[in-house]
Chains A and B, each alone.
Chain A
Amino acid sequence: MKSDWLNEQMLAAIDGTLSGTEQRRFDQALADDPAAQARFEALCALTERMRELPTRDEPLDFTDGVMARVSDIRRPWWVRLWIYLTRAHEVRVNLLGALAAAAAVVASVAVGVQLLRQEGTMPAPITAEVQKEYLMRFSYNDPQATQVYVAGSFNDWRKQQIQLTDSAGKGVWIGVLPLKPGIYEYMFYVDGHWVMDEHAQRYKDDGFGRKNAILELGTGDDLSI
C-alpha cells in the first residue's frame, strides 16, 4: 500500500504540486524505501531528457488527421473518399502547379462538351439571338366531348399530354401553350379519336389518311395590313 502511494506521488513531486506536509511525508517514505528511491531517480532523469527534446507545434489539421486515420480503419473506402471530398482542407499550391491544374480542367471540360455534343445529348448554344416564345391558344368547340387534348410536332405527338379545359362548361375547350418560332403540325385528340382543327389557316395531308393543321410561328413577317 505504501509503495502504491509512493508511486502515485512521484509525478506530483516531479511537477512540484505537493503541499509542504505531503512533500515531507513523501521524502520520508522515499528514504525508507531504496527501491522506490531508485525508481524516482530514474523517472526524474527521464523527465529531464524529455524536457531537452525540441518542441514542435502540431499542424492545424492534426486532430482531424488523427481522427480520420482512426476512422479509416473501420470505414469503407467510398465513405472515406466522401469524407475527404466534403471536408475543408488547407491546400498549399505553387503557381505553376495551379496553372497546370487549371489547364487540365479547361481541356477536360472542352473534351467533355465535344463528346456530349457529338452524342447529341447537349444542344448547340444559341449564339445569334434569344428565341422568343409565342403563347398559342388552341380551342375546340364540342359540347358532347368529355376529354380533349391537342398533340403535334411540338410535343412529339404525345396524345394525352396537353389537355384542353372547358372551364365554362359550354363545350368550348381551351388550352394555351408556349411555343418557340417554327412550323408545327397538330391535331386534336377527342375522346380517343383524332380530329382536325377546322379553324386552322393551313392544312396538309398527314399521309395516313387525315389532315394535320399547320401552325407557323415567327418564321415569316409580322407586318400586318
Chain B
Amino acid sequence: MVRAACLLLCICATAVGAADNDASIRDSAVRQYPDQAAAVSETVQRADQAGVPADTLTRILSRSSQAGVPASDFIHILNNLSQAGETGLPLAPFSEKVMEGLAKEVAPALIVQVLDKKLATYREAQRIVAESTAQAKPDARAVVAVALSFERGISPQGMQALLTEQGYEPAPVGHAAQALADLVSMGFNEGEGVAIVRAGLDAGYLQKGGATLTQIVAQAQKLGFGNDAIAQRMVTALNRGTPMAEISLELHGGNRRGGNRGGNDGWGHGGAQSGGAGGHGNGGGRHAN
C-alpha cells in the first residue's frame, strides 16, 4: 500500500506539473509585457481555455519576445487563435502563420492583419463545408482544403457554385476545392473549373483525391487542346461515367489519330460532338450511349 501511495503521489505530481504549465506561461508573458500585465494574463488564459496547446503558446511567446512584438499585437495575435479555437477551427494554420510571419521578420501589425483575414476565410470555409456536408461540426481537413483554395484565389461564389448540393462526404469536398484551385492556377477560368470539378464530384471521382483529374487536364493542355475544349469534353466524359484511366487513354488515342489539336476531332465520344466518331472509336466503343 505504501508503494501504491508513492506511485499515486508521483502521478499526481506529474498532473499538477502539467496544470502549472499555463500558470508559468502566464507568468512568463506578464514578465515579458509588464506594462499590460492584466490584459496579457487574461489573453493567455483565454487562449488556454480555447484549446490553444501550451507548447504553442510558449513558442509564440518566445518568438514574439525575440522579435520584439508589442504587447497590443501579441494580445491581438493570441485573441485570433482563441477565436479560431472557440469556433471549432483548426488552430495549426493560424499558429503556423504567426511563426511564418515572425520567421520572415514581417511587421507585427501585418501579421495581425493577415491573421484577421485568415480567420474570416476559415470561417467562410467552415460555413460552406458545414452546409455541403450537412455536418454540425465540419471536418477540419475539409475546412482547411476549402480555406486553402480561397487563399489560392477561388471566390466564395465559385466555391458555392461547386458545392451546391448537400450531403457530400467531407473528403471529396476538400479534394474538389483543391482541384478547382489547381485548375484555375493552370489557366482555366473559375466557371470552366467549376464545371469540370463538379462533374467529377457528382460522378464520385473525387473520393480519394483530385490529382488524377488535374493530371488528365494537364496532359490535355500539353497535347495542345484548348481550355474550353478540355472543359467541355471532360464534363461530357465525366457525366457519362467514363473511368479516369480511360479518359486518359482516349486523350492519347484521340491525339494520335486526329491530330487536330484544339478542335473537335481528337477526344470525345459522340460523333455529333466530335465531328469524327469514326476516327475515335477507342472510347466510344466502350462507352456507347
The answer on A and B forming one complex is yes
B101 contacts partner chain A, Cβ-Cβ < 8 Å: yes
* A115 and B19 form a contact (CB under 8 A): yes
Q: Main SS of chain B's interface residues?
A: helix
* B55 and A225 form a contact (CB under 8 A): no
Interface size on A, residues (CB 8 A): 44
Distance in angstroms between the alpha carbons of A101 and B3 in the assembled complex: 9
User: Which A residues from 132 to 177 make CB contacts under 8 A with B?
Assistant: 151, 153, 156-159
Kindly provide the distance from the CB of A154 to the nearest chain B CB, expressed in whole angstroms. Answer: 9
* A210 and B104 form a contact (CB under 8 A): yes
Given A120-B53, A208-B101: A108 and B209 within 8 A (CB)?
no
Distance in angstroms between the alpha carbons of A126 and B53 in the assembled complex: 18
* B110 and A208 form a contact (CB under 8 A): yes
A130 contacts partner chain B, Cβ-Cβ < 8 Å: no
Kindly provide the distance from the CB of A161 to the nearest chain B CB, expressed in whole angstroms. Answer: 10
Kindly provide the distance from the CB of B196 to the nearest chain A CB, expressed in whole angstroms. Answer: 16
What chain A residues lie within 8 Å of B175 (beta carbons)? Answer: 220
Distance in angstroms between the alpha carbons of A214 and B153 in the assembled complex: 14
Kindly provide the distance from the CB of A79 to the nearest chain B CB, expressed in whole angstroms. Answer: 16
Q: Main SS of chain A's interface residues?
A: mixed
Distance in angstroms between the alpha carbons of A115 and B211 in the assembled complex: 41
* A202 and B185 form a contact (CB under 8 A): yes
* A225 and B6 form a contact (CB under 8 A): no
* A101 and B4 form a contact (CB under 8 A): yes
* B216 and A225 form a contact (CB under 8 A): yes
Please name 5 further chain A to chain B contacts, defined as beta carbons within 8 Å, in addition to the given A111-B11, A225-B248, sorted by A numbering: A105-B8, A108-B12, A120-B56, A156-B96, A208-B106
Residues of B at under 8 Å CB distance from A?
1, 3-4, 6-8, 11-12, 14-15, 18-19, 21-22, 51-56, 59, 92, 96-97, 99-104, 106, 110-111, 114, 117-118, 141, 144-145, 148, 151-152, 174-175, 178, 181-182, 185, 208-212, 215-216, 219, 244-245, 248
Residues of A at under 8 Å CB distance from B?
85, 91, 93, 97, 101-102, 104-105, 108-109, 111-112, 115-116, 119-121, 151, 153, 156-159, 183, 185, 194, 202-208, 210, 212, 214, 216, 219-225
